[in-house]
Amino acid sequence: MDRAIVLMYHNIGRPPKGARLPGLYVSPEAFHLQMRYLRVAGFTIVPLDGILDFISGQSHVKRPVALTFDDGFQDFSDNAWPVLRALGFPVTVFVVAGRVGGENLWDCEYLNVRKKLLDWDAIVRFKDEGVSFAAHTMTHPSLTSLSGEALRGEIFGSKSALEERLGMGVDYFCYPYGDYNEETIDMVKAAGYKAAFTTRKGCVFKADNPYELKRISVKSTTGPLAFAYKLHLYKGGSARCPK
């Protein structure tokens, strides 16, 4: 296989009335169908370590796909994890370490909806059940608007906050809004992350830069045919997907 795929999800559930960007919500029924499709179509669901192994040529699993959830919304508990757990699929949730147990303060006004975030009890419980957690800053700023100590606090701070609560190393990072630049990447490397994920659309290829990894977003508008297309045929371009 010449490529790997990292799928990006946000909410599994139904968008509340009046919510902007309802496309961020995938219905529980559609999600269940998508996960079953991955299984029957012969993809190998790998943890993020498996994506790095693919990039470096150390892994030769069949059709590697990794599953990521951005922001750590509470609907992961009821609508995603039971399905993933039953199928035995590894998954990584990128949490906003300074907002755990709270709400999406960073975009609630824009989205016109307040969304509950997982609390630490749930995060630790899910970690014990096999969920991987990774960092998505402390407060979900656009990192290209920060520098120096403010940037360091978001990138180093979220790693240490998560590591302290989880009692284990946190190796992966995800850029809020997909915003990053050279200074961001340098800081992410200095903090000790092994790789970082963007919102740039596309597959992962061998020898890709591990600090600019592309993903493929799944949205409410991604019907079964579009889902299959993204997995089997889509190669990706340079266009950025909306948050």
Do 51 and 172 form a contact (C-beta atoms < 8 A)?
no
Site string for Zn ion, 144-183 (x = CB under 5 A): --------------------------------x-------
Q: How far is the CB of 134 from Zn ion (least distance, A)?
A: 12
32 or 215: CB nearest Zn ion: 215
Q: Per-residue DSSP letters for the chain? A: --EEEEEEE-EES-PPTT-S-GGGEEPHHHHHHHHHHHHHTT-EE--HHHHHHHHTT----SSEEEEEEEE-BTHIIIIIHHHHHHHT---EEEE-GGGTTSB-TTTHHHHT---BB--HHHHHHHHHHT-EEEE--SS---GGG--HHHHHHHHHHHHHHHHHHHTS---EEE-GGG---HHHHHHHHHHT-SEEEEEEES-EETT--TTSEEEEE--TT--HHHHHHHHHT----SPBPP-
64 or 176: CB nearest Zn ion: 176
- Applying CB under 5 A, the span of 11-19, 64-72, 108-116, 161-169 interacting with Zn ion comes to 64-72
Q: How far is the CB of 240 from Zn ion (least distance, A)?
A: 14
CA distance linking residue 226 with residue 119, whole number of Å: 33
Q: How far is the CB of 162 from Zn ion (least distance, A)?
A: 15
Residue 70 near Zn ion by CB under 5 A:
yes
177 or 205: CB nearest Zn ion: 177
Give CA separation, 239 vs 5, 49, 216, in Å.
17, 26, 12
Q: How far is the CB of 136 from Zn ion (least distance, A)?
A: 6
User: Which residue in 5, 71, 91, 122 binds Zn ion (CB under 5 A)?
Assistant: 71
The residue count for binding Zn ion (CB under 5 A) is 3
32 or 111: CB nearest Zn ion: 111
59 or 139: CB nearest Zn ion: 139
Q: Which residues ranging from 90 to 109 are in contact with Zn ion (CB under 5 A)?
A: none
64 or 67: CB nearest Zn ion: 67
Torsion sign, CA atoms 241, 145, 102, 134: positive
64 or 72: CB nearest Zn ion: 72
Q: How far is the CB of 104 from Zn ion (least distance, A)?
A: 9
Q: How far is the CB of 94 from Zn ion (least distance, A)?
A: 7
Looking up tokens 């509470």, which residue turns up?
74
Q: How far is the CB of 115 from Zn ion (least distance, A)?
A: 11
Please report, as ranges, the residues that interact with Zn ion according to CB under 5 A.
70-71, 176
